[in-house]
Structure 1
Amino acid sequence: MSGAAAQPRGGVTVGTLSDLPPLEAGAVIYLRHWFSGSETRDQMRRDFEVNFGPEVAEAAFEAFGYLCNFCATHGRRPLVRHGMTCRCLGADENCFANLLASAAEGQKDDAHILASLIVTPRKAPELVRLASDCGLLMREVMGLKLPRQTGRPATATLH
């Protein structure tokens, strides 16, 4: 074993931001903005206002902030994030992004599993509800449609 401190597993690179669909990529970028300080949060608020108008922007900003703060307050541990300009996607960021997307798409079982990785199981249902509300609002402001729900696949193998 080395004497150096172990790298947090939540920061392990699992892909790149460009690998993600728009909602998930936006969730990661906004997560980084939220936790990088008041200056980047103010920039995020201005970007929302320019793109979505003042009323929708305020609702989206507040919902996203509440979601992030809930994760910080009730998290099992701090969510590990990559830097603002980093193109990598960390494990925790990926979990957060997929939580938001699966909750917004109504995939409650998947969302609950992902939420349980971020917060304690007792807090997971509340996190799923917050992620669903926030994800639906973000889908709306980003002009994204919900994917068509299909039946359960015969196999879970993709490739």
Structure 2
Amino acid sequence: MSPEQSTPRGGVTVGTLSDLPPLEAGAVIYLRHWFSGSETREQMRRDFQVNFGPEMAESAFEAFGFLCNFCAAHGRRPLVRHGMTCKCLGADENCFANLLASAAEGQQDDAHILASLIVTPRKAQELTRLASDCGLLMQQIMSAQLPPRPARPASATLH
């Protein structure tokens, strides 16, 4: 396979949407909605209205859109996304979802590292702040009460 025909590394499947907690799965789904056109954006707006009510929905919709547009405008490269109905989770989508979750949980160092994978280093702090705001909103949308993560020593392994 030639380099032109290979899958962009950001699109490599790293899991499935069903493997993700609600906040992260929602982040991926709405990321796909945002970049898939006006019809899917309107569907997203309606979802926000159902979850937030008309006043807060517009602010949440605009905040998420600003976050996505910021990634597009200042990204190191375009974020690779899977299709709207795809059950796979791509590497870039996973990074975006984990950015929102870590920022919402107050894990600013982790969020900043993830942000620096998406945008240039000069813009990483701003993306971290935007992700924190949107991540908190996503928690409300997905009705997710993320459980506190147990403290682990720095050398601990998960598997």
TM-score scaled by length of structure 2: 0.93
**1:152 CA displacement:** 4.0
Once the two structures are TM-superposed, the CA of residue 154 in structure 1 deviates from its matched residue by 5.8
Structure 1 contact 34–40 (Cα < 8 Å) conserved: yes
Shift of 1:65: 0.4
For residues 30-63 of structure 1, give each alpha carbon's deviation from its aligned partner in whole angstroms, at most 9, with x where no partner exists.
0000000111101110121123211221121111
What is the aligned-residue RMSD (CA, Å)?
Answer: 1.6
CA 1:41–1:149: 2 relative to 1, 3 Å? same
User: Which position in structure 2 is the counterpart of 1:127?
Assistant: 127
Matched with 2:141 is 141
| Aligned residue type for 1:98 | N
Q: Residues 10, 59 of structure 1: CA spacing in aligned structure 2 closer, same or farther, 3 A cutoff?
A: same
Matches within 5 A, 1:12-31: 12-31=12-31
Could you tell me which runs of 5 or more consecutive residues in structure 2 were left unpaired when the two chains were aligned.
none
How many equivalent residue pairs? 159
> Match of 1:15, SS?
strand
Residues 74-98 of structure 1: CA deviation (Å, up to 9, x unaligned): 0000000000000000000000000
Q: Which residue of 1 aligns with 2:83?
A: 83
Identity %: 84
Which whole-Å CA distance do the structure 2 matches of 1:112 and 1:42 have between them? 30
The residue identity in structure 2 corresponding to 1:35 is F
CA distance, structure 1, for counterparts of residue 79 and residue 141 of structure 2: 25
Change (3 A) 1:33 1:156: same
Q: 1:71 to 1:3 in 2, by over 3 A?
A: closer
Contact 2:26 2:142 in 1 (8 A): no
Q: Point out where structure 1 has 5 or more consecutive residues left out of the alignment.
A: none
1:7 offset after TM fit, Å? 1.6
TM-score by length of 1: 0.93
Superposition misfits of 4+ residues, deviation over 3 angstroms: 1-4, 149-152
Supply the distance in 2 between the matched residues of 1:11 and 1:38 (Cα, whole angstroms): 23
Taking the TM superposition and a 5 Å limit, the aligned residue runs for 1:30-109 are 30-109=30-109
Does the 8 Å contact 2:17/2:87 carry over to 1? yes
| Partner Cα distance (1:149, 1:69) in 2 | 30
Do the aligned partners of residues 88 and 3 (structure 1) sit closer, same or farther apart at CA in structure 2, a change above 3 Å counting? closer
AA matched with 2:130: L
